[in-house]
Amino acid sequence: MWHSRRVFVQINPAVPLVWRTHSSAQAGIDPVIVRFDDVDDATARALGELVKGTSTTRLAALLGARRSAELQAHCGPALRETTSPALPRIAVIGKHHQSEHIATVLAGACAGVLRGVSTSAVDVTDFDVAVLVSSFVVSPMDSQPWLAHDIPHIPIVFTESGATIGPLVRPGATACLGCVELSRVDLDEAWSAIAPQVWGRTATATIALATHAASTTLSLLTARAGKTVHLNGSTFARRTTLSSLHPRCGCQSLPGPTE
């Protein structure tokens, strides 16, 4: 089951949210608990998220930290924290030929899956977690927007011998993919020269390997921080490693979503 360290909030399901006009709404009928006036598009979207139940991180991504806090305070007693968040909305990003199959496998365990060939093709604030599917290396252009918006993301990287899944990046709390790359350079200084040469190449993968990779991804959503699983493409044997923050990476000092 999906668990997040983020705080989840929801307008009490027993309290209906109804629209008075195209730009005003109220929570509650008899009595009216709170009114929302001068509602712009972003706030309307945030209210829709609150009806379903969402994380405070996602609200901040939609509205900015200050406006998010103000909206939650304005909701008053209509709002409740929930310890049982909804299943995650997952973005599966990447051009790999098994991306579609991975998305299909993940769909059974989440509230919704959307495929995108790149991060730029989706709105990152629509999702709770991103799965970045690639060959050999992960493009920083696909990983950085999730990091900047404090949205968890996890790579599936296919190689000629199998697949590497993880680590799950929880921005501000765990090692990022930049930390992973810097650690790899520490082990093999030639990696910084090798990586650009395989960027854009495609590693073939069987449906069986992609299925194992997708199921492993689901298990890592609740696993120990920094855990990475290396899958053998023929035997599906597993090897586990742990990633940690790298002293030369600045991921812990990145600013959060702007207001």
pLDDT for the residue numbered 1: 44
Residue in this structure with the two tokens 């509205």, named with its chain if needed: 63
Whether the full predicted model's pTM is greater than 0.85, yes or no, is no
Handedness of CA 33, 65, 127, 119 (dihedral sign): positive
pLDDT for the residue numbered 13: 87
pLDDT for the residue numbered 111: 61
pLDDT for the residue numbered 86: 58
The more confidently predicted of residues 124 and 153 is 153
Beta strand spans in the chain (E): 8-11, 17-21, 24-27, 34-36, 54-55, 79-82, 89-93, 112-116, 129-135, 153-158, 162-165, 227-232, 238-242
CA 202 – CA 135 distance, rounded (Å): 5
Kindly report the number of other CB atoms within 10 A of residue 212's CB atom.
Answer: 22
- Which class for 67: exposed (0-12), middle (13-18), buried (19 or more C-beta within 10 A)? middle
pLDDT for the residue numbered 180: 96
CA 68 – CA 17 distance, rounded (Å): 18
- Which class for 190: exposed (0-12), middle (13-18), buried (19 or more C-beta within 10 A)? exposed
- For residues 149 and 125, is the Cβ–Cβ distance under 8 A? yes
- Which class for 193: exposed (0-12), middle (13-18), buried (19 or more C-beta within 10 A)? exposed
Confidence band, pLDDT 50/70/90 cuts, at residue 62: confident
Question: For residue range 11-52, what is the model confidence (pLDDT) as tens digits?
Answer: 998 999 999 999 999 999 999 999 999 999 999 999 988 988
Kindly tell me if the per-residue pLDDT of 76 is higher than 60: yes
Kindly tell me if the per-residue pLDDT of 110 is higher than 80: no
Confidence band, pLDDT 50/70/90 cuts, at residue 116: confident
Confidence band, pLDDT 50/70/90 cuts, at residue 89: confident
Residue in this structure with the two tokens 């495929």, named with its chain if needed: 115
pLDDT for the residue numbered 200: 87
The more confidently predicted of residues 136 and 255 is 136
pLDDT for the residue numbered 69: 94
CA 186 – CA 226 distance, rounded (Å): 17
Residue type, 162: G
pLDDT for the residue numbered 259: 47
Question: For residue range 160-202, what is the model confidence (pLDDT) as tens digits?
Answer: 999 999 999 999 889 999 999 999 999 999 999 999 999 889 9
The more confidently predicted of residues 83 and 73 is 73
